[in-house]
């Protein structure tokens, strides 16, 4: 990240002799987790989880973090970012120490992401036997006090509640050695800035800090400069890149045809055994679509962020266990839901920002699988469609007889009318 003052660039030629270059070398040769010098138990956890080769961000980040460097990594959901901070965490903490004061703190913007991280800790860290606790807004404070009294090695928390618990319990945090800000742009967007600064002020200077974010707005650069020590910036060209195996279809519709078009896609185009996520603009759209699909016996479930936590958990599990093949979500709710088997994404409402489009559709066609992203484009959404193509550097192709990727077309009127009547 050569061009942000205050950050070291891992690829800078003048750094050839320092630890950055030395440490990344073995991974260039071997390219695998085996060449990262990981301990046996950590490697066993990675193998058990089924990871064979590190993702690009893992290849860059893990060796630096193990070396003890502070890292700012620009990575989106689906890049394998969780393992980027958990593998070095397991290496640093090594064994469970059952005394007061956690040694690692992971701050997440949402409870879903925090619970997802906890799941990764249990799976990837299966053989490290470290104890983790979650401190999340909405859960019982008493349970959280006793979780802290259980002397966890790792705390995964949302910032507001964590700070509250720190104040109530007069926690000093001076035993924290390793801190992660996950989806840091979202942490700030959700208004946790003040709490984050409060938490940072309580942390010891000697800690190692990692910050993961899809975007790096100025406010975050300032936060990283103040809170991290000589951080290395790791940036892959992720923002404007789509998975290579992903096909994009854009479907021009009139406003009143939107639901009928969705039904045509779900009934005529997509195999009912496939897993599909439908992105809708608001929780009201989500509820409306859920009712409509239920009426038509299309197996579906839904999540939006103001849904109560246990219902969200149940619905997410329904989808990930394949009991429902369609999951209807809002963007905020979709954060942190881990769906490795996703086949299709449907943008019921077109995202207003190109980056959001990349975020949404990047959830399918992961790890070598293929996938299709269908987007319904109403008359008032063409501007966003054009903006997206400028952002992606792709030409906009209006459909002709040969069906290609990245095209814009219409659904046959007879099919739409059939669904419209339903
Ligand atoms: P994340 O970006 O951390 O949310 O990870 C996205 C998905 O990729 C999760 O389902 C991970 O389990 C999976 N994943 C992460 N690293 C690897 C890897 N090296 N090989 C295969 N799958 C991975």
Q: What is the pLDDT of residues 45-97, one digit of tens each?
A: 999 999 988 888 898 899 999 999 999 998 877 778 999 999 999 999 988 88
pLDDT of 238 above 90: no
Among 235, 269, 298, the domain-final residue is 235
Q: Kindly state whether residues 341 and 376 are assigned to the same domain.
A: yes
Among 235, 264, 288, the domain-final residue is 235
First to last CA, the chain: 54
**Number of folded domains that form the chain:** 2
Q: Is the dihedral of CA 109, 112, 118, 122 positive or negative?
A: negative
What's the pLDDT at 239? 53
Q: Kindly state whether residues 185 and 268 are assigned to the same domain.
A: no
**Average pLDDT over all residues of the chain:** 85
pLDDT of 3 above 70: no
pLDDT of 16 above 60: no
Structural domain including 225 reads 13-235
Q: Kindly state whether residues 287 and 407 are assigned to the same domain.
A: yes
Nearest to 299 by CA among 267, 329, 330: 267
Q: Kindly state whether residues 321 and 285 are assigned to the same domain.
A: yes
Q: Within a domain: residue 187?
A: yes
- What separation in Å is there between the alpha carbon of 80 and the centre of ligand 1? 4
Backbone angles phi, psi at 269, to 5 degrees: -105, -35
Test site for ligand 1: of 76, 80, 214, most ligand atoms within 8 A of the Cβ = 80
Q: Within a domain: residue 6?
A: no
Q: Within a domain: residue 5?
A: no
Q: Kindly state whether residues 96 and 65 are assigned to the same domain.
A: yes
* Site residues for ligand 1, CB cut-off 6 Å: 51, 54-55, 58, 77-83, 338, 340, 367
Q: How far apart are CA 422 and CA 418, in angstroms?
A: 7
**Closest approach atom of ligand 1 to CA 81:** 3
Q: Residues 273-307: pLDDT tens digits?
A: 889 999 999 999 999 999 999 999 999 999 988 88
DSSP summary character for residue 79: S
What's the pLDDT at 342? 83
Query: When comparing pLDDT for 230 and 245, which is higher?
Result: 230
Q: Within a domain: residue 413?
A: yes
Whose CA is closest to atom 1 on ligand 1? 80
Instruction: Please list the helix, strand and coil fractions of the chain in percent, rounded to the nearest 5, in that order.
Output: 45, 15, 40
Q: Kindly state whether residues 128 and 277 are assigned to the same domain.
A: no
Q: Kindly state whether residues 18 and 132 are assigned to the same domain.
A: yes
Q: Within a domain: residue 284?
A: yes
Q: Within a domain: residue 254?
A: yes
Among 177, 200, 235, the domain-final residue is 235
Q: Kindly state whether residues 188 and 257 are assigned to the same domain.
A: no
Tell me the CATH number at 343: 3.40.50.300
Model confidence band, residue 10 (pLDDT cutoffs 50, 70, 90): low
pLDDT of 382 above 80: yes
Q: Within a domain: residue 19?
A: yes
Q: Within a domain: residue 394?
A: yes
């Amino acid at each position: 990240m050569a061009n942000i003052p205050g950050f070291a660039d891992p690829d800078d030629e003048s750094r050839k002799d320092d630890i950055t270059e030395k440490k990344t070398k073995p991974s260039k040769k071997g390219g695998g987790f085996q060449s990262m010098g990981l301990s046996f138990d950590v490697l066993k956890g990675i193998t058990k989880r089924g990871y064979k080769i590190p993702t690009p961000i893992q290849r860059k980040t893990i060796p630096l973090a193990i070396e003890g460097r502070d890292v700012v990594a620009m990575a989106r959901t689906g890049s394998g970012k969780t393992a980027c901070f958990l593998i070095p965490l397991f290496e640093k903490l090594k064994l469970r120490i059952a005394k007061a004061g956690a040694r690692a703190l992971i701050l997440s913007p949402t409870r879903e992401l925090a619970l997802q991280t906890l799941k990764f800790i249990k799976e990837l860290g299966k053989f490290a036997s470290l104890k983790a606790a979650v401190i999340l807004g909405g859960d019982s404070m008493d349970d959280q006090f006793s979780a802290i009294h259980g002397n966890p090695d790792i705390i995964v928390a949302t910032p507001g509640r964590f700070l509250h618990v720190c104040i109530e319990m007069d926690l000093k945090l001076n035993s924290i050695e390793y801190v992660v800000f996950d989806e840091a742009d979202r942490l700030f967007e959700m208004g946790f800035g003040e709490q984050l600064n409060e938490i940072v002020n309580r942390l010891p200077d000697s800690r190692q800090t990692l910050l993961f974010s899809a975007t790096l707005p100025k406010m975050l650069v300032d936060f990283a400069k103040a809170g991290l020590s000589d951080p290395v910036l790791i940036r892959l060209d992720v923002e404007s890149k789509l998975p290579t195996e992903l096909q994009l279809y854009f479907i021009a519709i009139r406003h009143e045809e939107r639901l009928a078009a969705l039904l045509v896609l779900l009934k005529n185009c997509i195999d009912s055994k496939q897993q599909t996520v439908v992105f809708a603009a608001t929780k009201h759209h989500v509820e409306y679509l859920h009712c409509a699909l239920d009426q038509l016996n299309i197996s579906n479930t839904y999540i939006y962020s103001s849904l109560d936590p246990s219902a969200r958990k149940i619905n997410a599990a329904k989808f990930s266990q394949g009991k429902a093949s369609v999951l209807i979500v809002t963007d905020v709710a979709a954060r942190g839901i881990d769906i490795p088997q996703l086949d299709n994404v449907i943008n019921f409402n077109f995202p207003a920002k190109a980056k959001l489009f990349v975020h949404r559709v990047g959830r399918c066609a992961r790890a070598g699988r293929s996938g299709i992203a269908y987007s319904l484009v109403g008359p008032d959404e063409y501007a966003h469609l054009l903006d997206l193509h400028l952002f992606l550097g792709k030409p906009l192709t209006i459909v002709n007889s040969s069906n290609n990727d990245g095209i814009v077309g219409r659904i046959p009127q007879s099919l739409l009318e059939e669904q419209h009547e339903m």
